[in-house]
Amino acid sequence: TSGRNAVRFFDPAMQAVLVVKMMLESNLRVALALEQFQLYYQIQVDAEGHVVGAEALLRWIHPDRGFISPLEFIPLAEQTGLIIPIGTWVLETACNQLKKWARNPKTAHLSLAVNVSAKQFQQSNFVEVVTEIVRLHNIDPTRLKIELTESTILDNVDATTEKMQQLKKLGIAFSMDDFGTGYSSLAYLQKLPLNQLKIDQSFVRDLSDDESDATIVRAIISLGLNLGLDVIAEGVETVAQRRFLIEHNCLTFQGYLYSKPIPIEGLNALLDGDASE
């Protein structure tokens, strides 16, 4: 009844959640200006153990609350539209890093993947924004990879495909993130200008003791390879998982087995070690 609903409205627990959300939102607004965001980098490695690139992962270091997980603030940034300036900052910072890597023969071959959310990708001038950032930083666009989820693409397949094609003409690569968790139809998968499928970590996690996960992973790998795409596995934590993946022809990995996401200083030290070995 309506009486119950009215009581619910004053539920103190819910009120507390709302207050936290509102505080987070107003903090999020100033976080960019106060330079509280940072990019962390997680390496991507081939079967020989060579670093082939990295994924940029956003971190919010709040002066009072410390680290706030992107799982907590990205949805809020999406709801409020703040994801657009934040996402532009991510792209700019990533391209700035690519520019630095390009100057050093030890790092010039690396690719850098950035996550782009639905609302960000769907902004009407997204292609122009990316084009401008790539031009300003004077980077090789083929080193930049955009990770999109199935739901972002499916939200509006025609418009998304069109934008992807324009960016692909520029040379930018696309990876489909969290692959296997959405509702991919084989028909559109074939039409999308993708370069890579990224096997979701939920399937990789139980690879060794869940027969159905192993079956799904095998199927994703052969699907990807048959479509002429690169296949990368995320969330690789054990040697057994890597062995399984190599046996089934997935030859690029990302996960704690190699490195957690780390600040740029740590990554550069790690790359230096890798190159001198």
Q: Which residues in this chain contact Ca ion in the complex, by CB under 5 A?
A: 115, 147, 177-178
Closer CB to ligand C2E, residue 141 or residue 261? 261
Q: In the chain, where do the E strands start and end?
A: 37-46, 51-62, 66-68, 111-115, 144-149, 173-179, 196-199, 230-233, 252-253
Closer CB to ligand C2E, residue 95 or residue 116? 116
Judge contact between 104 and 148, C-beta under 8 A.
no
Closer CB to ligand C2E, residue 45 or residue 169? 45
Q: Residue 256: name its binding partner from Ca ion, ligand C2E, none (Cβ under 5 to 8 Å by kind).
A: ligand C2E
Least distance in angstroms from the C-beta of 110 to ligand C2E: 18
User: Does residue number 57 form part of the binding site for ligand C2E (CB under 6 A)?
Assistant: yes
User: Which of 184, 180, 189 is closest to 250 using CA atoms?
Assistant: 180
Count the Cβ atoms, other than its own, within 10 Å of residue 123.
16
Structure tokens at 57: 């992962």
Structure tokens at 13: 């627990």
* Binding residues for ligand C2E, total number by CB under 6 A: 22
CA torsion through residues 67, 262, 232, 92, sign = positive
Cα separation, 122 vs 231, whole angstroms:
25
What's the longest Cα–Cα distance across the chain? Answer: 71
Q: Kind and range of the H or E element at 234? A: none
The contact pattern for ligand C2E, residues 129-168, with x = CB under 6 A and - = no contact, is ----------------------------------------
Closer CB to ligand C2E, residue 180 or residue 261? 261
Least distance in angstroms from the C-beta of 81 to ligand C2E: 13
Least distance in angstroms from the C-beta of 231 to ligand C2E: 15
Least distance in angstroms from the C-beta of 1 to ligand C2E: 40
- Binding positions for ligand C2E, rule: CB under 6 A: 42, 57-58, 69-71, 74, 87, 90, 115-117, 177-178, 201, 234-237, 255-256, 261
